[in-house]
């Protein structure tokens, strides 16, 4: 299909590197691996640049490929939730401390302990601000499944927050 949109690769990397890296980092819990995934994703984008129809299509494509590459990487490494939590703690200890809100840092750590499908749905929902429909399209999953993963993930995260972050619970009343 012919389209007029002429993307500039360097500009696309500039524009989307933070999104791609953040998605990969939150899915894998490993900064180094996330950087590798981000590199691979952009190199794949370079190979498929001619097929990109618009800026929105490129953004959707990048999210989709990043999520799929991250899932592949996780499968390859057979990372279990607890390992991931420890890894995140080690790899992101400094950056977590830099965060203004300690609850935010804890939430990110707790998110890493969730099952992969729930984590994927929550990351796309709260990092990328996607609707459940958009998440379903990105993950190639049924809408009902995504909604249920979002609800279950959120519930699990709340439960973890309640047990681990007493001060947050107190603040909520």
Nearest of 72, 87, 4 to residue 37 by alpha carbon: 72
User: Which of residues 86 and 103 has its CB atom nearest to another protein in the complex?
Assistant: 103
One character per residue 4-43, x = contact with another protein (rule: CB under 8 A): -----xx--xx--xxxxxx--xx----x---x--xx--xx
Which tokens belong to 20? 């791609």
Candidates 56-64, 81-89, 100-108, 136-144: pick the segment binding another protein (CB under 8 A): 100-108
Q: Does 68 bind another protein (CB under 8 A)?
A: no
| End-to-end alpha carbon distance in the chain | 57
**Full DSSP string of 69-135:** HHHHHHHHHT--HHHHHHHHHHHSHHHHHHSS-HHHHHHHHHHTTS-HHHHHHHHHHHTS---HHHH
Give residues in contact with another protein (CB under 8 A): 9-10, 13-14, 17-22, 25-26, 31, 35, 38-39, 42-43, 46, 95, 99, 101, 103-105, 107-108, 111, 122-123, 125-127, 129-132, 147, 150-151, 154, 157-158, 161, 168, 171-172
């Amino acid at each position: 299909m012919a389209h007029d949109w002429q993307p500039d690769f360097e500009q696309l990397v500039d524009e989307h590197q933070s999104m791609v890296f953040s998605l990969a980092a939150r899915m894998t819990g490993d900064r180094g691996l996330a950087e590798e995934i981000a590199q691979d994703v952009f190199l794949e984008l370079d190979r498929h640049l001619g097929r990109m129809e618009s800026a929105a299509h490129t953004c959707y494509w990048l999210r989709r490929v990043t999520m799929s590459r991250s899932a592949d990487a996780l499968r390859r490494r057979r990372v279990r939730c607890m390992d991931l939590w420890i890894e995140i703690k080690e790899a992101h200890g400094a950056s977590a401390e830099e965060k203004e809100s300690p609850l935010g840092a804890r939430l990110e750590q707790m998110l890493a302990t969730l099952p992969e499908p729930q984590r994927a749905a929550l990351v796309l929902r709260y990092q990328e601000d996607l609707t459940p429909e958009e998440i379903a399209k990105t993950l190639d999953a049924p809408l009902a499944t995504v909604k249920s993963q979002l609800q279950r993930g959120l519930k699990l995260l709340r439960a973890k927050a309640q047990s681990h972050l007493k001060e947050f619970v107190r603040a909520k009343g």
